[in-house]
Amino acid sequence: MEKIKIVVDTPCDIPDKFLARYGIEMVGVPIVVDGREYVERKSFSIQEFYPILEGANELPVTSRVPIGEFVDAYTRAWNEGCTDVIVVTMNSNGSGTYESAHIAMDLFFTELPEAGGFFSIHLIDSMTYSLAYGYPVVRAASMAQLGKSVKEILVYLYDFFSRVEIYIVCYSLEYAKKSGRISAAAAFVGEMLGMRPIIAMVDGATKIVEKVRGDRNATRKLAEVYHQRRVSAEDIVITASAAVDEYGRELKALVERDLGRRVLHCKLGAAVTINAGPHAAALCLLGKKRERDVYGSGMQISVLEGRRSI
């Protein structure tokens, strides 16, 4: 009988209450702010990070989750009698955390060869951020509690990640300039004109898809993007905001007016706000299904001595 454990990293932005309810284990991403080391969600909450970010002299720097954190998580799952661990990480194009999880898998089976054939680790590169992978992780953990098989859960996750899209609007260009998303010259002109970029994050890549003048127009445009990109009004949609709640409330209201029902809303964590800034809003939707590279995207299943990765 399968006993499944779900492990995820902190940029998923899953609220604490869901971690406890579904037995999800979270490993923390290290963050350095002006020479001081923190661990996301351990040193501060999502909400507490915004003033830290705004008060920083230099742009904070994140690093990969240490390999040992994953080895410890796998070992705990093995000792708890689990047969399978499903690990979902943030976009590997922006972090080495997925690689850490993979190296840790090899180390675990080297140190505990008796686990081979009895214990499987499934590694998933979500190729996205925030609740765009946090939400399906919660659903996956719920499925595990309901007795769904590993195969059923992996199929669900594969489908979700092959369709999910994020769109972010930056109401200030300061952090997009600092992170290199926008050149200093473009940011200067953009601020003078009140331009607000809308950035798409799909399959691990970011791209400016719209430039809108004014905060109100940018929020409305983001709601229009949802209407244009969605496949079904029945699919999940998530709105999000950072330090300024008003941006998120307005976006949520516009999408709910379009749908005629309530939608989920979350707060954006460090991984997104370091690059987009604390004055940002976002939406997550499911678009058309995309085909993914067999090995380059990490979205195919391979099996070797009980070790699996997606």
| pLDDT number for residue 296 | 37
Low-confidence ranges of the chain (pLDDT < 50): 185, 187-189, 293-310
CATH number of 164-286: 3.30.1180.10
Q: Give the tens place of pLDDT for each residue, 12-58.
A: 999 999 999 999 999 999 999 999 999 999 999 999 999 999 999 99
Give pTM, 2 decimals: 0.89
| pLDDT number for residue 183 | 59
Taken in order 100, 156, 276, 229, is the CA torsion positive or negative?
positive
Domain assignments of the chain as residue spans, ordered by start:
4-29+64-162+294-309, 164-286
* CA trace torsion 52, 199, 24, 153 (10° rounding): 180
DSSP-assigned letters across all residues of the chain: ---EEEEEEGGG---HHHHHHHT-EEEPPEEEETTEEEEBTTTB-HHHHHHHHHH-SS--EE-PPPHHHHHHHHHHHHHTT-SEEEEEES-TTS-SHHHHHHHHHHHHHHH-GGGTTT-EEEEEE--S-THHHHHHHHHHHHHHHTT--HHHHHHHHHHHHTTEEEEEEES-SHHHHHTTSS-HHHHHHHHHHTEEEEEEEETTEEEEEEEEESHHHHHHHHHHHHHHH-S-TTS--EEEESS-HHHHHHHHHHHHHHHTS--EEEE--HHHHHHH-SSEEEEEEE-S-----TTTTS-S-EEETTEEE-
**4-29+64-162+294-309 is a CATH 3.40.50.10440 domain:** yes
Q: Residues 6 or more apart from 285 whose CB is under 8 A from it? A: 164, 165, 167, 226, 229, 230, 235, 236, 237, 238
- Other beta carbons less than 10 A from residue 17's beta carbon: 8
Can you tell me the distance from the alpha carbon of 233 to that of 136, in angstroms, rounded to the nearest whole number?
18
Identity at 271, one-letter amino acid code:
A
Can you tell me the distance from the alpha carbon of 170 to that of 177, in angstroms, rounded to the nearest whole number?
11
Do 4-29+64-162+294-309 and 164-286 share a fold? Answer: no
| pLDDT number for residue 176 | 67
